[in-house]
């Protein structure tokens, strides 16, 4: 069975969709674009799809992932255009890749989420703050589930330490990564990592 990896961005009014609503919208677009999806067996078959960790409602993203099992190979160049024609404004497929047979599932390689934090200082005026890096629950980060930080707690601590009103922040998930080294290779700028249930912040060093 072939697997297709779809990378997409989420912005505009779409940031207010829940994770479930987003998945339904993407699945509908895939069906309408005639993607030859593989389905489960049984009384109520559904597409074999897995997604990257859920985004908090109100948070945009530059790099979310959807893994789709296929019944046959596809021309990814033509397919991405068809998918985008079926997606509403605010959701956009940016990459399509046919995965090698032994490529690990999403749940096995996504371990960190990186967030870009902007402070809105006035109409059309923003200032970029340090990036925020969070280990993800149940993603092999080496931390116990109950000890992992939540985004809202990390943002609250970041706001307190910088003396900023949390309501002035605009948050976008910049990407999902397998390791801290991968983040450092791709991102330039100051990065703070949140650790533990208390979301204690420390700077990531190269």
C-alpha closest to that of 144 among 179, 196, 106: 196
- Domain boundary, last residue among 82, 106, 130: 106
Residue 178 region by backbone torsions, left for phi larger than 0, else alpha for psi between -120 and 50, else beta? alpha
Residue 58 near residue 16, CB atoms below 8 Å: yes
- Evaluate if residue 167 carries a pLDDT over 50: yes
Res 144: pLDDT: 52
- Containing structural domain, residue 187: 110-203
| 12 and 80 co-located in one domain | yes
| 12 and 70 co-located in one domain | yes
Res 1: pLDDT: 74
Res 192: pLDDT: 95
Of the ranges 24-28, 44-48, 100-104, which is most confident? 24-28
Least confident of 109-118, 123-132, 195-204: 123-132
Average pLDDT over residues 161-186: 92
- Evaluate if residue 196 carries a pLDDT over 70: yes
C-alpha closest to that of 62 among 98, 91, 87: 91
CATH number of the domain enclosing 70: 3.30.70.580
Least confident of 83-92, 109-118, 130-139, 152-161: 130-139
**Number of domains observed in the structure of the chain:** 2
- Domain boundary, last residue among 106, 133, 158: 106
| 59 and 14 co-located in one domain | yes
Q: Which of residues 112 and 1 earns the better pLDDT score?
A: 112
pLDDT tens-digit map of 115-143? 999 988 777 777 889 999 999 854 444 44
Q: Which residues lie closer than 8 Å to 32 by C-beta, 6 or more apart?
A: 86
| 177 and 120 co-located in one domain | yes
- Domain boundary, last residue among 106, 131, 156: 106
| 9 and 101 co-located in one domain | yes
Q: What is the pTM of this model?
A: 0.86
Computed over every residue of the chain, the mean pLDDT equals 89
**C-alpha to C-alpha distances, 192 to 70, 76, 91, nearest whole angstrom:** 39, 36, 28
pLDDT tens-digit map of 45-66? 889 999 999 999 999 999 999 9
């Amino acid at each position: 069975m072939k697997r297709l990896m779809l990378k997409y961005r989420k912005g505009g009014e779409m940031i207010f969709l829940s994770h479930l609503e987003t998945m339904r919208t993407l699945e509908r677009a895939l069906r309408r674009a005639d993607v030859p999806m593989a389905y489960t067996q049984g009384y109520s078959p559904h597409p074999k799809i897995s997604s990257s960790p859920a985004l908090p409602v109100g948070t945009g993203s530059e790099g979310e992932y959807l893994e789709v099992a296929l019944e046959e190979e596809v021309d990814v160049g033509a397919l991405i255009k068809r998918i985008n024609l079926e997606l509403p404004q605010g959701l956009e497929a940016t990459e399509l890749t046919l995965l090698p047979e032994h490529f690990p599932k999403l749940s096995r390689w996504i371990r960190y989420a990186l967030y870009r934090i902007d402070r809105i200082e006035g109409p059309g005026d923003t200032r970029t703050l340090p990036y925020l890096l969070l280990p993800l629950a149940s993603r092999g980060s080496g931390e116990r589930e109950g000890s992992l930080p939540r985004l809202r707690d990390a943002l609250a601590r970041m706001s307190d330490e910088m003396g900023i009103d949390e309501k002035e922040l605009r948050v976008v998930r910049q990407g999902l990564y397998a390791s801290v080294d991968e983040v450092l290779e791709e991102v330039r700028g100051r990065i703070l990592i949140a650790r533990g249930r208390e979301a204690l912040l420390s700077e990531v060093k190269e």
